[in-house]
Amino acid sequence: MNITVSKDKTDVVHPLWLRLTHWCNALAMLIMVTSGWRIYNASPLFDFRFINQLTLGGWLGGALQWHFAGMWLFGINGLFYLLINLFSGRLKRRFWPLSPRQLGSDLLAALRGRLQHADPRQYNTVQRVAYLLVMAASLLAVLSGLVLWKSVQFPLLRQLLGGYETARYLHFFAMAGLVGFVAIHLLMVALVPRTLLAMLRGR
């Protein structure tokens, strides 16, 4: 499989490696979020619970098994995606530079429904910031998840995250941020269906 991304063909919007990691990540997030909701229901942080019909696992033990399975897929796939982006230079080309002034301008245009996205190969500033925040939220979810899973084995990480209970909150808010991004992402896909076709066939 060719994973070279530094010289993408002009008619290719998303190379094969990107499409594969995208759909693997979608599956991993679906497994982890729905099983995570069942785990949350067993010991809620806030005064609400998720509807059981929207959760995965059937019971706490089953949810934990699904969550761990999704964790491996999410972590390995995410590492693969990050390494390709770093070593190919794609991370720098697609997500930098960032301009606060341009971000404000693009955000205002987005709120007015006037943000242009004629070339799907080029990210506007709002997209760049959103994707970088998703990467940060994903990393936070993984690190806080390690503390919740193996608290004794990662004492330094537990301390850096403020302790076990704080890690629970960080894990929840990282999940909430990722779910919020997915909701907006799906809305944008509904408004611009060609983006889904590009993620399926590359063009």
Q: Are 41 and 55 in contact (CB under 8 A)?
A: yes
Read off the pLDDT band of 6 (50, 70, 90).
very low
Burial 179-189, CB ≥16 within 10 A → b, else e: eebeeeeeeee
Q: Over 80: is that where the pLDDT of 48 sits?
A: yes
Coil, helix or strand for 117? coil
* pLDDT score of 181: 92
Contact 73, 24 (CB under 8 A): yes
Q: Are 124 and 95 in contact (CB under 8 A)?
A: no
Higher pLDDT, 151 or 104: 151
pLDDT band per the 50, 70, 90 thresholds, residue 126: confident
Contact 167, 147 (CB under 8 A): yes
**100 or 154, higher pLDDT:** 154
- Give the per-residue pLDDT at 120: 64
- pLDDT at position 42 is 93
In percent, the amount of the chain with pLDDT more than 90 equals 57
- Is pLDDT at 24 greater than 80 in this prediction? yes
178, 131 contact by CB (below 8 A):
no
Of 13 and 163, the structure prediction assigns the larger pLDDT to: 163
Q: What is the largest CA-CA distance in the chain?
A: 52
124: its two tokens: 């506007």
Give the angle subtended at the CA of 131 by the CAs of 125 and 134, to the nearest 5°.
140
The pTM of the full predicted model, rounded to 2 decimals, is 0.84
The pLDDT, as a whole number, for residue 114 is 65
pLDDT in the model for residue 10: 55
Comparison of pLDDT for 192 and 115, the residue scoring more: 192
Task: Fill in the amino acid letter for 192.
Answer: V
Q: How many CB atoms lie within 10 A of CB 5?
A: 19
Residues 69-123 have pLDDT tens digits of: 999 999 999 999 999 988 988 888 888 877 778 777 777 877 766 666 666 667 7
Whether 17 has a pLDDT exceeding 80, the answer reads: yes
